[in-house]
Structure 1
């Protein structure tokens, strides 16, 4: 076996995709209670865009250069001291927030979730952030019940697709806002499509929705609140509208704080602001349980996240541009072992 080498996707400074660079990095060593993994797959997610532009509260103290990579599926190749539950060759996953767009990285063994044999690594990576978010929104935040009427904003996006799929499995009546050209996808996933450019979602369901899931935050979520029935629940979990409008971090934090303090509203309407990192910090066992449950569903082919493309290191900056442009119906996944697109087109291997 040749010498092990590590490469990483580094943010040189905050800004547009051009600030990303792929560089050689020291090979990490597993410390006490850690495992080192050879990365098999790491998603390129919209939150990476938010982090790269210095708009993500959880990484506000990070200073460039640092390595991107919100999630990881990898194969253990080194055990640190005091690790007894894993062995070399085991495949594991974790949500790392940063640091996983790499060839190798270390993980806390206590945070790692086993990946079942035979599961595709890229599909497993696509579950970690988006599908765990959706599962927890449905079952940990909203505590949905069969027959409830539910509106999903951004239904063609990664979390939206997961909400529709898992919501259908939970027996919900589902509607999803999306562009008109994504209507067929929304129907396929079990929802009634709403073209947000032409239809008023606040008037679709007489009496209003039981639950609205809003990861967009358009107009301060005022229209989402208007779409709720009396006693309904708004689960807010993102602010892509603010990022796309290139608002600054202060305005986004102000919007977030406003939702936190709203709590209860006239008509008994409620607001729940969900953060996967905050929920994981409060209930770490839930994250491992929920991700393991999703992996079981994936292994049984009961769910199948869409992977738009598997890419090499050379294509990461382009992937960020595609994410910012919108319109993707699946997740872009970095696979470090994959040859570059040029090599693939010429039939060469890495």
Structure 2
């Protein structure tokens, strides 16, 4: 098969609901000198794309643009100065946007090899979400065996990987999730709290009377004060999103500014010795050397069977609008994945 000349891509033509999600054919060009053209085998669906649909993601491009945070695929062409990769290799990358396409060009330095035996959808589940989960635990909070953590929204793509990674490290996990997710999450060894019907601070206090050693909070500024109060002395609060502000009006940066203000105040109090050693920080995943090291390690864990990502749905690339609706509905537990070339008959229900 020769080098492709066109490919299908998904486009956000504006802001709003899934009515602005469409597909189109685009012409492909020869990769830049350090570019690598990849045939996408699987691309992840994340809350970031939901935020971008509403204009609420930090630094997102102006419409029209191709969304898609992460992908796994096969190299079909390399640029003139690429020496470390070859046609036919399977790779993963996190371009932040652009992954929802049949063919994607990525810089050679941003790629990570994917073991041949790992299914593409399974592999893409650990690119954005897996690295985020690992770095929250081991780089941001530096949890240790025997400690207890609280994970808000543990039924999502990050939470369903954070739980087994924490368990493997000897860490006790308390997680919040809607009741309909609990059956799917029990096998992960999580002590579950239904955040819709239970008082979360009271339940956490019952389960961990001395407080928890880390709280991972993707909800936004309104949640942080309560999360801070649940920390044990020496504990760490990590804020890594603002999911609860999706429907807010006003500039996208406003909730993040409020979050930074809270975190800065707690850090100042910590420096004056007024927090009992508790600390708070903000985290976001970056495609850098640490990311590539951590992703390569996670892919080895998947290949060996040590880590089994939970895949909620596999849908055709052209079903991106449906995938976003499913994500927003909260009905899915685990990662939703888009698979170019998948037929409707093969779609998992």
Which residue, 229, 234, 240 being the options, matches 2:243?
A: 240
Moved more, 179-188 or 152-161: 179-188
Q: Distance in 1 between matches of 2:27 and 2:150?
A: 47
**1:206 and 2:205 correspond:** no
**1:288 match:** 292
- Partner deviation per Cα, 1:174-199 (whole Å, 9 max, x = no partner): 11111223233333112111122233
- TM-superposed deviation, 1:230: 2.2
Q: Distance in 2 between matches of 1:81 and 1:144?
A: 44
CA contact (8 A) 1:71 1:96 kept: yes
Q: Distance in 1 between matches of 2:46 and 2:250?
A: 19
Which residue, 260, 265, 283 being the options, matches 1:274?
A: 283
**1:309 match:** 313
- TM-superposed deviation, 1:99: 0.5
Q: Distance in 1 between matches of 2:29 and 2:241?
A: 33
CA contact (8 A) 1:122 1:307 kept: yes
- TM-superposed deviation, 1:68: 0.8
**2:12 match:** 11
**1:159 and 2:158 correspond:** yes
CA contact (8 A) 1:28 1:106 kept: no
3-state SS of 2:215 partner: strand
**1:348 match:** none
**1:123 match:** 122
Moved more, 86-95 or 45-54: 45-54
Moved more, 116-125 or 265-274: 265-274
CA contact (8 A) 2:240 2:283 kept: yes
Q: Distance in 2 between matches of 1:303 and 1:6?
A: 33
3-state SS of 1:158 partner: coil
**1:23 match:** 24
Q: Distance in 1 between matches of 2:249 and 2:127?
A: 27
Question: How many residues align structurally?
Answer: 336
Q: Which runs of 5+ in 1 are unaligned?
A: 346-350
**1:231 match:** 234
CA contact (8 A) 2:220 2:259 kept: no
- TM-superposed deviation, 1:272: 1.1
Q: Distance in 2 between matches of 1:131 and 1:179?
A: 22
3-state SS of 2:300 partner: helix
- TM-superposed deviation, 1:315: 1.2
- TM-superposed deviation, 1:171: 0.4
3-state SS of 1:324 partner: helix
CA contact (8 A) 2:70 2:96 kept: yes
- Partner deviation per Cα, 1:238-288 (whole Å, 9 max, x = no partner): 1111115566514323233224423424333211100113xx4xxx21101
CA contact (8 A) 1:153 1:176 kept: yes
Q: Please give the TM-score of this superposition, normalised by the length of structure 2.
A: 0.91
3-state SS of 2:149 partner: strand
**1:320 and 2:321 correspond:** no
Q: Please give the TM-score of this superposition, normalised by the length of structure 1.
A: 0.91
- TM-superposed deviation, 1:58: 3.1
Q: Distance in 1 between matches of 2:58 and 2:145?
A: 34
- Partner deviation per Cα, 1:312-345 (whole Å, 9 max, x = no partner): 1331111111111112112111111212x2x558
Alignment root-mean-square deviation, CA = 1.8
Q: Distance in 2 between matches of 1:217 and 1:49?
A: 16
CA contact (8 A) 1:28 1:105 kept: no
CA contact (8 A) 2:43 2:99 kept: yes
**1:90 and 2:89 correspond:** yes
